[in-house]
Chains A and B, each alone.
Chain A
């Protein structure tokens, strides 16, 4: 019954979504308040129904109901519970259901917490949000029904790709989707504002929390994905510039730009038209990302041709949403005039530069991602665009961004004096360059990557911290005074510091691993010892083991430094009999300074084993940086100005019955 109930709930949600598109929009146009109010219960009901459908599918997976086709194809009774649950979204149909569940969740949050929005804006936002909902519900119901039954259920399921059976990946898609789809909120707000013809500081204040939330989720999602790739995919690569990765990275870059430009709208009532355009573009990239991942068009034109219905359907949604949004923008943007005045050297200009760099960087990733497709369609030439291209074409923008960030982020609003702003920064700049030079002198081999990367990382991190140190007068006032000042600074400012420092730390980790990784590939017999950088690795044993749904050969290695044992490492080669797919489970000893990473290869004809080992310096700082970015976002979203708005709403809500 569960599958049928879920299916029925989806159909009902689809019907509601269509009504929710029409009624609040007409209400807002005509000024009928009861029609406008319809959006609120409709959005909540939509979420309840879709959430119910999602719960039904989850039950089918958890109970291994193999009469449901999706479960039979993607699950197996012997799978650990965590992966039965994550199996729900580890396939096309289920992941689209998760997508729409999150979409309606965001719609419901506006319905519930949007009490302080002007009624007409709220009605229009919910109507636009429901347009996206209706489109994707139709997509699921007509092309990707997750609830199909099998007339003859199999005895057991076909299992889940072993690579996907990993805690990092179990939570990666939900976070990514929360981010992708969260940007729909910015889109709906932008389109609603264009229809209203009004964008002001208040609008920016409403949009920012949702954009921030989406950005935080996207940051965590991308970080989890990269972390998973690092320890699961074999050789410790953490970013491959794969089309699927780029699909999530482009919306992230745009969302980052949007976050910053929304600040200008909020504080200075400028950049309004650009911010609206960014909001539309950011969600457009989310849709393009969904299209890339779900249609398979980039990885292979054939995947698209095998299943053209889905691809064409998403392409149609894409065309209507992006085309419609941009057309509306072209018609209405001129109404969003700015009267704010600011000079060439000002915080506003700094944020314009930030937006320019981030959106051009996103455009470069976009062009690189679709280039193979475009080239094949236009000239018939088959070309590849991979990591070597992106490293060259993308990195310069991040270098300029890192160079300008500490200066631009402390410039005063409206008009400022570059000489005066730079005064406290010269020392930090000199220190950073000195550090970079020291690294250059100390390292053997002449690559510039590490010195430049470290100079930038130091500059960004210390710049961010020094800004706060100056503001709380550390060293210039008594400690108690500094603490008091620190407590009084808005949380958003602390968020800014953490996020910017996180960006710097990520640069540090990335430069270090790219410049200083040490690799060793050899054959080793049991009992052999061999040197690895300043360590010694001893190959102790190999044994066969059996896991819950796999078998494996497991090696045992002892890591020694100056004859003293540092760690024992157990790399595995697993085989999942249901899919007969082998995977390598690298073993690593991690610390803040370096990861030692060992992979067990094949047994050679002479009985020895192929062994790959690495020393990866400072790698964990990449994810510490990412975590700090997300933490900065969380601090910022809990800033007083949003909490005050929430409190004001509460008082108003309690005041209602007294009327």
Chain B
């Protein structure tokens, strides 16, 4: 019975992310493939890159990336090739473009605007009518007199 279950189990199991048989013999090229794989989305998965994904499609894409690398493409050419085929959706890091400008510049822009407003606010706070926390000259001389006396 247990043996039977084992067989079923193996049939039901999907392939793992990066299978041993996919790995290129050239370690430099393999490293490049891994780096590229990390920015490509597994299209049928939920927010997973093809390097981590178990899906068959991800395996196909991983093999495709390696195929292009072996054929002599640069990293950029491989990415472009995949984007041509599957659209911008495949990129986990959206390209710098006019359409994505707001996405990329939201952080720096907000930091600048927020920083500017904060500075104005702090300047106003430091220029505001000083409260009587500090002694003025007159009070200081009286205090000195008292301390001496």
Taking Cβ atoms with an 8 Å cutoff, the residues of A that contact B are: 234-235, 237, 240-243, 270, 299, 338-344, 348-349, 352-353, 356-357, 359-361, 363-364, 367-368, 371, 375, 379, 381-389, 392-394, 396-397, 414, 521-523, 544, 546, 551-553, 573, 575, 580, 582, 584, 599, 601-604, 610, 612
Contact = CB atoms under 8 A, between A and B. Distances in A.
Contacts of A601: 16, 19-20
A546 B117 CA distance: 63
A573 B114 contact: no
10 contacts: A240-B47, A363-B107, A371-B94, A385-B103, A386-B41, A388-B39, A394-B107, A523-B20, A552-B9, A575-B9
Given A341-B125, A388-B38, 12 more contacts: A342-B126, A357-B111, A375-B100, A382-B89, A384-B92, A386-B41, A387-B92, A388-B92, A521-B23, A523-B20, A553-B9, A573-B9
Interface in B93-148: 93-94, 99-100, 102-104, 106-107, 110-111, 114-115, 118, 121-123, 125-126, 128-131, 133
A235 B52 contact: yes
A296 to B, nearest CB: 10
A372 B46 CA distance: 13
| SS of A interface (majority) | mixed
A367 B106 contact: yes
Chain B interface size band reads 35 or more
Interface in B1-60: 2-3, 5-6, 8-10, 12-21, 23, 38-39, 41, 46-49, 52, 54
B91 interface: yes
Interface centre among B14, B47, B91, B129 (most CB of A within 10 A): B47
A215 to B, nearest CB: 22
Contacts of A414: 133
Q: Nearest 9 pairs between A and B by C-beta?
A: A386-B92, A388-B93, A382-B89, A364-B107, A601-B16, A367-B106, A523-B20, A575-B9, A544-B6
Contact of B12 (A234, A235, A379, A580): A580
Interface centre among A299, A352, A523 (most CB of B within 10 A): A352
B8 A575 contact: yes
Given A367-B106, A389-B92, A353 B41 contact: no
A603 B125 contact: no
B130 A344 contact: no
Contacts of A580: 12
A580 B106 CA distance: 44
Contacts of B3: 544
Nearest to B115: A356
Contacts of A599: 16
A386 B111 contact: no
Interface centre among A240, A385, A392 (most CB of B within 10 A): A385
B20 A384 contact: no
Contact of B20 (A237, A522, A573): A522
A385 B52 contact: no
Interface string B49-90: 100101000000000000000000000000000000001111
A397 B3 CA distance: 55
A403 to B, nearest CB: 14
B103 A371 contact: yes
A235 B15 CA distance: 14
Contact of B130 (A341, A386, A603): A341
A338 B121 CA distance: 11
A348 to B, nearest CB: 8
A342 B94 contact: no
B88 to A, nearest CB: 6
B89 A384 contact: yes
A338 B125 contact: yes
Contact of B49 (A359, A361, A386, A612): A386
A385 B10 contact: no
Given A344-B126, A414-B133, A573-B9, A359 B114 contact: yes
B92 A349 contact: no
A551 B9 contact: yes
Nearest to B123: A344
A546 B2 contact: yes
B131 A341 contact: yes
Contacts of A364: 106-107, 110
Nearest to A240: B47
A339 B121 CA distance: 12
